[in-house]
Amino acid sequence: MCEKTNKTGVALIDSRPLTRISISHLLTSFSDDFVILSYPDIDEFVAEYVDCPYKLEAILINAGVTRVSEDHISNGIQRLKHKHPNLPLVLLSDRDELVDILDAIQIGVRGYISSTFSPAKIIHSLQLVISGGTFIPSKALLEIIEKTAKPIAEERPNGGKIDPAALQTFTSRQMEVFELLRQGKSNKFIAYELGMQECTVKVHVREIMAKLKATNRTHAAFIASQISDLEH
């Protein structure tokens, strides 16, 4: 049943009762800010959402070991995008291969969460997507950068390079700040998006600048902007 509440609502679609119940319990018990509405399949979610007075903020699909490229997963995602274009889709998966992550992003998934993540990290990833961001595991981001660093460097007028080894020294928080910096967001915006103090953001930006060997914030933003846009 749907209830009116001020909490963040997330629809969880998972065909397996045990994992569906377990994930719902873990997330709601770990954070008082979330309410998880569970559905065994897309059909039931679509049918119940029509008359639901409760405002959902995202849809979380647990794909398990199934590849996103398989028809019933990709077709289901396309159907949800058509029915609810304003609800961001997040995939929870047992697979962490780069090809699977890129397939998911390309068909419109806004978040790709590994089933190895802790409940806290899953919640934080959902919050990032709900706030308008895109989330992929940092391991995948580093792999993409390693594959694209050389051609990107060759195309840059100033010949600058992003050192993948430097990115490996980033904390998870610095990676989040770096992603928003890459999008050209201001310190104030980053602070709002990540629920931080602006002075804390400035500390992270300074540390990012040092690790990237950037001369100033503008230079750091320029270096970050050269990374291939993961949202497309």
pLDDT in tens, 86-121: 899 999 999 988 888 888 888 889 999 999 998 888
Query: Does residue 96 sit in the same domain as residue 155?
Result: no
pTM: 0.61
pLDDT of residue 16: 92
Contact between 121 and 92 under an 8 Å Cβ cutoff? The reply is no
159: CATH: 1.10.10.10
* Rounded Cα distance, 27 and 120, in Å: 8
| pLDDT of 17 | 92
- Cα dihedral 185, 140, 212, 130, rounded to 10, equals 20
Do residue 115 and residue 180 come from a single domain? no
What is the token pair recorded at 106?
Answer: 């390309």
Residues 114, 163 within the same domain:
no
Is the residue at 231 inside a domain? no
* Domain end position, chosen among 79, 101, 130: 130
Residue 105 lies in a domain: yes
Task: DSSP letter for 130, please.
Answer: H
Same-domain check for residues 69 and 102: yes
Specify the range with the lowest mean pLDDT, choosing from 69-83, 146-160, 167-181, 208-222: 146-160
Confidence (pLDDT) at 54:
65
In angstroms, rounded to a whole number, what is the distance separating the alpha carbons of residues 174 and 203? 10
Question: What integer pLDDT is reported at residue 156 of this predicted model?
Answer: 45
Same domain, 85 and 169: no
Tell me the mean pLDDT in the region 165-183: 82
Q: The domain spanning residue 87 has which CATH number? A: 3.40.50.2300
Q: Give dist(CA 206, CA 135) in Å, integer.
A: 23
* Structural domain contains residue 106: yes
pLDDT surpasses 80 at 165: no
Q: Clarify whether residues 125 and 12 are in a common domain.
A: yes
Residues 99 and 14 in one domain: yes
**What's the structural domain count of the chain?**
2
CA atoms within 13 A on the CB side of 30: 14
Examine the fold and report which residue of 78, 109, 130 is the final residue of a domain before the chain moves on. 130
Last residue of a domain, one of 81, 100, 130: 130
Question: 1 in a domain, yes or no?
Answer: no
Residues 116 and 176 in one domain: no
Q: What range does the domain containing 110 cover? A: 8-130
Task: Reply yes or no on whether the pLDDT at 231 is more than 80.
Answer: no
Helix and strand numbers (H, E) in the chain are 11, 5
Whether residues 13 and 118 share a domain: the answer is yes
Q: Is residue 2 part of a domain?
A: no
Contact 68/90 with Cβ under 8 angstroms?
no
Statement to judge: residues 160 and 122 lie in one domain: no
Which of the residue ranges 12-16, 105-109, 181-185, 202-206 has the most confident prediction, judged by mean pLDDT?
A: 12-16
